[in-house]
A and B are shown apart, each in its own frame.
Chain A
Amino acid sequence: MSLGLFLAQALTGLASAATLFLVSVGLSLVFGITRVVNFAHGAFFMVGAYVGYTLTNYFAASDALSYWLCVVAAAVIVGAIGMAVELLLMRRMYKVPELFQLLATFAVSLLIDDILPIIFGPEDLLAPRVRSLRGGIDLFGARMPVYDLYMIAAAAIVLLLLYIAITRTRWGVLIRAATQDRDMVGALGVNQAWLFTGVFTLGVFLAGLAGALQLGRTSANLGMGTSAITEAFVVVVIGGMGSVTGALVAAILIGELSALGVAYFPQLNLVLMFLIMAAVLAVRPSGLFGKPEALTRQHEFSDEPPLRAISRPLAFAAIALLALLTIAPAVLGTYGLSVVVDVMIAIVFAGSLYLILGPGGLVTFGHACYFGVGAYAVALGIRYAGLSFASALVLAPLAASLFALAFGWLSVRVSGVYFAMLTFALAQIVWSVVFQWYDVTGGDNGLIGLWPTSLSPLVFYFVTLALTAGSIAILGWIPHSALGYALRVTRDSPARAAAIGIDVRLVRLFAFVIASLFAGLAGGLSAFAKGSVFPTAISIGRSIDGLVMVLMGGVESIAGPVVGAAMFYLMQTEILRYTDRWRLVLGVLIILIVLVFPKGVVGSISQRLRGEESR
C-alpha cells in the first residue's frame, strides 16, 4: 500500500470516526449522569434520519445552508421527542432498579422500530443531495467526498460546543459533579430531575443530529438504528462510560482501525470492533478514559426482602404445575407440545441468567453465547461424531461451562456496565466465528436435520420436563446455599466480602460457570427441539430476550424468571401469530409492565402480598 493510499484511507477513517463520535457521545453523556443504558439511542438516531428526510423534502432544501438548517431542525425535533420520553416515562423510573430503566428504553426502541414504517413506509428513503455537497476533491492522490470533510467539521463543532458547555457553564459544572457523585449533587440542593431531563434531551438531540447527518451518505432505512446502537455501545465502552474525551478517542481508534483493516484484513470486518473492545477491556477494565464505576450509596437491589424458604402455597403450586405438565401431552397436539417444550427451554435459559443477574448482581449482554455453545456442541457432536441423543445432550452443558470458565475468568475482573459489555464482546466474537466458519458450522445457514429418528417427540417432552424441573430446583436452591450467600455479599458489598476473606472474583466466576452450564443445557435442548441450530442462537437478540424475560418476572426469586420466561415467550408467539406489528404490541406491554410492576411481575406481587410500602 502506498503512502498516498494510506493517508487517504486514514482520512476516510476519520470521516467514519466523526459519525461514530456523534452517535456515541450522547449515549455516553446520558449514562454518565443518569446511569441509564439507553437502548433506544440507536432508534433515536434512526428517527433523526427520517425526520431529516421529511424536512429536506418538505422544504426542498436546494442550497447548502437550508440543508444544514434542516439537519439541525431534525435534531431539535428528535431532542424534543427525547424530552417527552424522559418526562413521561424515564422520570417515573429513576427510583426503580437501573435494570428496569434498561427494559423501558428497550421497549421504546421496539415502539420506534414499528412506528417508523407505519409513518414512512417500509422502503429506504433517499434524501436528495444539494449540488454543492456532492462530488469530491483530490487529496493525497485520491478523491475524497466533500461530504466526508463536512462530517469531520460537524463532529469538531459539536466537540467544541460540548467542551465549552461542560467546562465553562454552570450547567456543565453540575454535569461533571453529577457524573462523579450524583447523590451529593442532590444533597446540595440541585434539582436532579431537571438535570436528568436536560442531559437525556441533549443525548437524544445528539443521536438525532448524527442520524440526520447520515442523509448525505445513505438512505434513511429501518436497519440503521440496530446497526448504530451496537457501534455506539462499543465506542462508549472503549472510551469509558461518561467520558467525552473517551468517546472521541475511541471513535477515532475504531474508525481508523476499521478503515485500515478493510485494506489489510478484509475478512476481519465482522469482528474487528469486538476484538478491539475485548482487548481494551482486558487491559483497562474501565475503558480508556473511564473511572471505575462511581460509588452509589444505594445498591440496585438493596431493598430486596430477605431470602425466605419456599412458602407452602408456592410449593404446592409448583407441584401442581408439574403434575399438570405431566398429563398435558394427553390433551396437547403436536404444536402445543412443541410450544410447551420451547417455553421450558426459555425458562431454563432465563433461570440460568437469573443466577448471575439476581443473586450475582451482574448484568450480562452475552448470555446467549453459552446457550449457543450448548446448541452447537449438540449439533457438531451429532454431525461430525455421530453421537447419540444422550451423549450429545451431555456435551452441551460441558462445552458451555468450558467456554464460561475461559470467558468468565476474563470478565469477572470488571463489574457493572463493563462486565455487561465485555461479556457482549466475547459473545459477538464467538458469534462471528460461527457465522463465518462455513465448513464446520454451516455459517449463517446453520446446521439442520439434527433430529434423531429414534427419538419420539413424547420422550423428548418428558426428558425436557425432567431436566427443566431439576434445573429450576437447583437454580432456586443455589441462593440458599453457601455459594449463594457468598455471591450475594459480593453483590451487596464487594469490599466487605473481600475483607471477610471471600475471593470475590472466584465466587463470581463459580456462579458464572454454573449459570452458563444451565444455559448450555437449554441450548442443547433447543438444538433437538428445533432439529437445527443457527447463529441466531448466539446473537445479541437472544441475550436481550433473556434479560427481558428475567426482568419482566423479577429478580428476587427463581419464580421471577420462570413466570417472566413463560409470559414473554407466549406473548411473543401469540402476537407473532396475528400481526407483523408484534414489536409495537410487545413494546406497549413492556412499558405497562414496567410502570405497573416496577419490580417485575413476581417481585411486585409478592411485595404487595407482604403489604410493604412501595418506595
Chain B
Amino acid sequence: MKFAAFGIATALQFAATVSGFAADPIRIGDINSYSAIPAFTIPYRNGATLALEEINAAGGVLGRPLELVSRDDNGKPEDALRAANDLVFNQKVVALSGTFFSNVGLAVSDFAKTNKVPFLAAEALSDALTWQQGHRYAFRVRSSTYMQAAMLAEEAAKLPAKRWAVIAPNYEFGHAVVNAFKKLLSEKRSDVEWVSEQFPTQGKIDAGATLQAIGAANPDAIFNAMVLPDLVRLVREGNDRDFFKGKAIVSVMTGQPDFLDPLKDEAPVGWIVTGYPWGEITTPEHTAFLAAYRKRFNDYPRAGSVSGYTTIKALAAAMVRAGKTDSESIVDAMSGLDVESPFGKVTFRSIDHQSTMGMYVGRIALKNGVGTMSDFHYADGAKYLPPDDEVRRLRPQN
C-alpha cells in the first residue's frame, strides 16, 4: 500500500520534472479550479500554454525560458492558499496567476499582499479585487463585474423598457453585478422601476417557480446573471412557457461560447449579452490568435483561452519591461503596462491595476444551429470604469 503510494508519487514527480529540464527557467505559479469547473479552466490553461510556447519559441524572457507550474485549487480558497504557499516558497515562482472564483481570487490576492508576490488574477471577477481590497501586488486581466454591468447598462438604457426584473445567482458575483447594473441604469434612466428580484441558489434553480414569480410582477425587461447549469434550465423553462416573448432580456456573459455551446439550437435568440463571438471577430490580432489556437489544440478558443493567453503575455511583457524578475520590479513594470491581447492592445491601469480588456456586446443569434452573436461591437474596457476620483475613494490608498 505504502509502496504503491510512494510509486505513484515518484512517477508523478518524475513526470513533473522532465517537462521542465531546461536550464534555469523563470517560473510562473498558476492556480485554477481545474477539477471543479474544467469546462472553463481547461481552455484557460490551453490559452496560457499557447502563450508560453510562443514566448519560448521566440527565445524566452530575458534569455531564459518561461515555465508554468500549474496547481488545482479544487474550487476552494483554502486549497488555493496552500498551493500558493507551495508555489512561492517551494517552487520559487516569480509571480502567481490564475483563479476563476472570486473568493479564490481574493484569497490568493491576500496571500500575495502578505508575502509581497505579484499576482495577476485572470478571471476572478469581484470588484473588490482591484478596489475595496486592492493593493500593490494584485492585478486583473478580465473585465470586472462592474465593467460588464456598465456595458450592459449602456445597452439597456436604449431600450424602451421601464419595468425591470433581475435574476442572479445567490453569491457575491450575482449580488454585485445586480447592484452595479441597477445603479448605472437608474442613473441613466430615472423612469425605470425595479419590480422583482430573484437570487436562486447556484446550481439549484427552481426555474419554473422562479420565472412564474418574476412573471407575476409583469416586467418589460429582465436582467439575468445566471450561469451554467442553471442557465440551461432557465432558457428551456422560459421557452416552454413562452416567457421571454415580448420581454427584453439583458444577460451577463451569455454570449461566451462556454455558455452558448451547451445550449445548442436552443440558444435564446435576441438576448442582449456580453460575450465572445470567436467565429465572427475579424481583427488581425484575433485572427492570428484563432489560427494559432486551432492549430495547437484542434479546438476553438473559449473566453478563458483569451484570458489565459493574455495573462502569460502580460507577465512576460512585465518582466521584459522590468529587465529583471524580482517581485518589486515586476509590480512596478505591470503598472501602466501595455500588452497585445487577442482583443487588441490593453493597458493595466496604474490607478487600480485593472486591465482595460473589454468584451463584445451584442445580441444572441443562431448560425448553423449553434448560438453566436450578431450586431456586436467591442466594448473597450477603458470606457466602462468609474471616474478616477471614485476609484481612488473605493481603493485603500497606501
Which residues of A pack against B, CB within 8 Å?
A: 1-2, 5, 8-9, 12-13, 15-16, 114, 117, 122-126, 128-129, 134-136, 142-148, 217-219, 221-224, 226-227, 231, 258-260, 262-263, 266-267, 269-270, 333-335, 338-339, 342, 435-436, 438, 443-446, 448-449, 451, 526, 530-532, 534, 536-537, 541, 571, 573-574, 576-583, 585, 589, 592-593, 596
Question: Please, how many angstroms separate the alpha-carbon atoms of A526 and B76 in the complex?
Answer: 14
The reply to whether A576 and B171 form a contact with Cβ atoms under 8 Å apart is no
Q: Which residue of A lies closest to B230 (CB)?
A: A218
Known A-B contacts A128-B264, A136-B240; A269 and B1 likewise in contact (beta carbons under 8 Å): no
The reply to whether A576 and B262 form a contact with Cβ atoms under 8 Å apart is no
Question: Please, how many angstroms separate the alpha-carbon atoms of A583 and B79 in the complex?
Answer: 14
In chain B between 190 and 232, which residues have their CB closer than 8 angstroms to a CB of chain A? 197-201, 203-204, 206-210, 212-213, 215-216, 228-229, 232
Known A-B contacts A449-B110, A576-B71; A581 and B213 likewise in contact (beta carbons under 8 Å): no
Known A-B contacts A221-B228, A262-B206, A267-B199; A145 and B237 likewise in contact (beta carbons under 8 Å): yes
Known A-B contacts A13-B209, A530-B81, A577-B71; A227 and B204 likewise in contact (beta carbons under 8 Å): yes
Question: Please, how many angstroms separate the alpha-carbon atoms of A575 and B107 in the complex?
Answer: 22
Question: Please, how many angstroms separate the alpha-carbon atoms of A443 and B169 in the complex?
Answer: 13
B103 CB–A CB distance under 8 Å: yes
25 contacts between A and B (CB under 8 A): A5-B212, A123-B261, A123-B262, A124-B229, A126-B232, A143-B243, A145-B237, A219-B228, A219-B232, A260-B209, A266-B197, A334-B85, A444-B102, A445-B103, A449-B113, A451-B114, A526-B78, A530-B78, A532-B77, A532-B78, A532-B81, A576-B79, A578-B13, A578-B15, A583-B35
Q: Which chain B positions have C-beta within 8 A of A445?
A: 102-103, 106, 126, 128, 172
The reply to whether B212 and A534 form a contact with Cβ atoms under 8 Å apart is no
Question: Please, how many angstroms separate the alpha-carbon atoms of A123 and B257 in the complex?
Answer: 11
Question: Please, how many angstroms separate the alpha-carbon atoms of A269 and B207 in the complex?
Answer: 12
The reply to whether A143 and B209 form a contact with Cβ atoms under 8 Å apart is no
Q: Which chain A positions have C-beta within 8 A of B170?
A: 269-270, 436
Cβ-defined partner of A438 (8 Å) among B8, B42, B77, B175: B175
The reply to whether A578 and B12 form a contact with Cβ atoms under 8 Å apart is yes
Question: Please, how many angstroms separate the alpha-carbon atoms of A576 and B133 in the complex?
Answer: 28
Known: A531-B110, A578-B9. 9 other contacts (CB 8 A): A122-B38, A123-B261, A226-B203, A259-B208, A262-B198, A266-B197, A534-B103, A577-B83, A580-B34
Q: Which chain A positions have C-beta within 8 A of B175?
A: 438, 443
Known A-B contacts A12-B208, A126-B262, A534-B78; A448 and B133 likewise in contact (beta carbons under 8 Å): yes
Q: Which residue of B lies closest to A125 (CB)?
A: B262
The reply to whether A145 and B203 form a contact with Cβ atoms under 8 Å apart is no
Q: Which chain A positions have C-beta within 8 A of B200?
A: 262, 269
Nearest chain B CB to A220 CB, angstrom units? 9
Question: Please, how many angstroms separate the alpha-carbon atoms of A142 and B242 in the complex?
Answer: 10
Q: Which chain A positions have C-beta within 8 A of B261?
A: 123
The reply to whether B232 and A147 form a contact with Cβ atoms under 8 Å apart is no
B233 CB–A CB distance under 8 Å: yes
Question: Please, how many angstroms separate the alpha-carbon atoms of A573 and B71 in the complex?
Answer: 10
Q: Which residue of B lies closest to A580 (CB)?
A: B34
B82 CB–A CB distance under 8 Å: yes
Q: Which chain A positions have C-beta within 8 A of B107?
A: 446, 448, 530, 532, 534
B58 CB–A CB distance under 8 Å: no
Question: Please, how many angstroms separate the alpha-carbon atoms of A145 and B235 in the complex?
Answer: 12
Nearest chain A CB to B234 CB, angstrom units? 9
Where chain B touches its partner, the secondary structure class is helix
Q: Which chain B positions have C-beta within 8 A of A438?
A: 172, 175
Q: Which chain B positions have C-beta within 8 A of A16?
A: 206, 208-209
Question: Please, how many angstroms separate the alpha-carbon atoms of A136 and B201 in the complex?
Answer: 25
Nearest chain A CB to B208 CB, angstrom units? 4
Nearest chain A CB to B165 CB, angstrom units? 11
Known A-B contacts A266-B199, A333-B90, A596-B1; A258 and B206 likewise in contact (beta carbons under 8 Å): yes
Nearest chain A CB to B195 CB, angstrom units? 13
Known A-B contacts A147-B240, A266-B198; A8 and B212 likewise in contact (beta carbons under 8 Å): yes
Question: Please, how many angstroms separate the alpha-carbon atoms of A394 and B8 in the complex?
Answer: 42
The reply to whether A446 and B74 form a contact with Cβ atoms under 8 Å apart is no
Q: Which chain A positions have C-beta within 8 A of B102?
A: 444-445
| Chain B residues touching A, range | 35 or more
The reply to whether B78 and A1 form a contact with Cβ atoms under 8 Å apart is no
Question: Please, how many angstroms separate the alpha-carbon atoms of A291 and B74 in the complex?
Answer: 40
Q: Which chain A positions have C-beta within 8 A of B15?
A: 578
Total A-B pairs in contact (CB under 8 Å)?
216
Question: Please, how many angstroms separate the alpha-carbon atoms of A585 and B4 in the complex?
Answer: 11
Q: Which chain B positions have C-beta within 8 A of A530?
A: 78, 81, 107
Cβ-defined partner of B85 (8 Å) among A144, A231, A335: A335
Question: Please, how many angstroms separate the alpha-carbon atoms of A146 and B242 in the complex?
Answer: 12
Question: Please, how many angstroms separate the alpha-carbon atoms of A269 and B200 in the complex?
Answer: 6
Q: Which chain A positions have C-beta within 8 A of B172?
A: 438, 443-445
The reply to whether B5 and A589 form a contact with Cβ atoms under 8 Å apart is yes
B380 CB–A CB distance under 8 Å: no
B241 CB–A CB distance under 8 Å: yes
In chain B between 249 and 279, which residues have their CB closer than 8 angstroms to a CB of chain A? 258, 261-266
Known A-B contacts A122-B42, A269-B201, A335-B89; A444 and B240 likewise in contact (beta carbons under 8 Å): no
B351 CB–A CB distance under 8 Å: no
Question: Please, how many angstroms separate the alpha-carbon atoms of A532 and B107 in the complex?
Answer: 7
Question: Please, how many angstroms separate the alpha-carbon atoms of A321 and B122 in the complex?
Answer: 42
Question: Please, how many angstroms separate the alpha-carbon atoms of A517 and B102 in the complex?
Answer: 31
Nearest chain B CB to A138 CB, angstrom units? 10
Q: Contact flags (1/0) for B1-38 with A, using CB distance below 8 Å?
A: 10011001100110110000000000000000011011
Q: Which residue of B lies closest to A436 (CB)?
A: B170
In chain B between 264 and 311, which residues have their CB closer than 8 angstroms to a CB of chain A? 264-266
Known A-B contacts A531-B111, A580-B72; A148 and B12 likewise in contact (beta carbons under 8 Å): no
The reply to whether B213 and A117 form a contact with Cβ atoms under 8 Å apart is no
B236 CB–A CB distance under 8 Å: yes
Q: Which chain A positions have C-beta within 8 A of B199?
A: 266-267, 269
Question: Please, how many angstroms separate the alpha-carbon atoms of A531 and B110 in the complex?
Answer: 9
The reply to whether A536 and B232 form a contact with Cβ atoms under 8 Å apart is no
Question: Please, how many angstroms separate the alpha-carbon atoms of A532 and B81 in the complex?
Answer: 10
Cβ-defined partner of A217 (8 Å) among B34, B106, B110, B233: B233
Q: Which chain A positions have C-beta within 8 A of B4?
A: 592
Known A-B contacts A262-B213, A445-B126; A218 and B114 likewise in contact (beta carbons under 8 Å): no
Question: Please, how many angstroms separate the alpha-carbon atoms of A218 and B216 in the complex?
Answer: 24
Question: Please, how many angstroms separate the alpha-carbon atoms of A223 and B204 in the complex?
Answer: 10
Q: Which chain A positions have C-beta within 8 A of B77?
A: 446, 532, 534, 536
Question: Please, how many angstroms separate the alpha-carbon atoms of A577 and B13 in the complex?
Answer: 9
Known A-B contacts A15-B208, A531-B111; A227 and B240 likewise in contact (beta carbons under 8 Å): no
B86 CB–A CB distance under 8 Å: yes
Nearest chain A CB to B127 CB, angstrom units? 11
Question: Please, how many angstroms separate the alpha-carbon atoms of A579 and B71 in the complex?
Answer: 8
Q: Which residue of A lies closest to B265 (CB)?
A: A128
The reply to whether B263 and A126 form a contact with Cβ atoms under 8 Å apart is yes
Nearest chain A CB to B240 CB, angstrom units? 3
The reply to whether B72 and A576 form a contact with Cβ atoms under 8 Å apart is yes
Question: Please, how many angstroms separate the alpha-carbon atoms of A259 and B207 in the complex?
Answer: 9
Question: Please, how many angstroms separate the alpha-carbon atoms of A334 and B263 in the complex?
Answer: 47
Question: Please, how many angstroms separate the alpha-carbon atoms of A266 and B196 in the complex?
Answer: 10
The reply to whether A532 and B201 form a contact with Cβ atoms under 8 Å apart is no
Question: Please, how many angstroms separate the alpha-carbon atoms of A258 and B77 in the complex?
Answer: 30
Q: Which residue of A lies closest to B171 (CB)?
A: A444
Q: Which chain B positions have C-beta within 8 A of A145?
A: 208, 236-237, 240-241
Nearest chain B CB to A111 CB, angstrom units? 13
Q: Which chain B positions have C-beta within 8 A of A226?
A: 203
Q: Which residue of B lies closest to A146 (CB)?
A: B240
Question: Please, how many angstroms separate the alpha-carbon atoms of A444 and B169 in the complex?
Answer: 12
Question: Please, how many angstroms separate the alpha-carbon atoms of A227 and B206 in the complex?
Answer: 12
Cβ-defined partner of A218 (8 Å) among B42, B171, B233: B233
The reply to whether A9 and B203 form a contact with Cβ atoms under 8 Å apart is no
Q: Which residue of B lies closest to A534 (CB)?
A: B77
Question: Please, how many angstroms separate the alpha-carbon atoms of A202 and B265 in the complex?
Answer: 36
The reply to whether B82 and A573 form a contact with Cβ atoms under 8 Å apart is yes
Q: Which chain B positions have C-beta within 8 A of A573?
A: 82
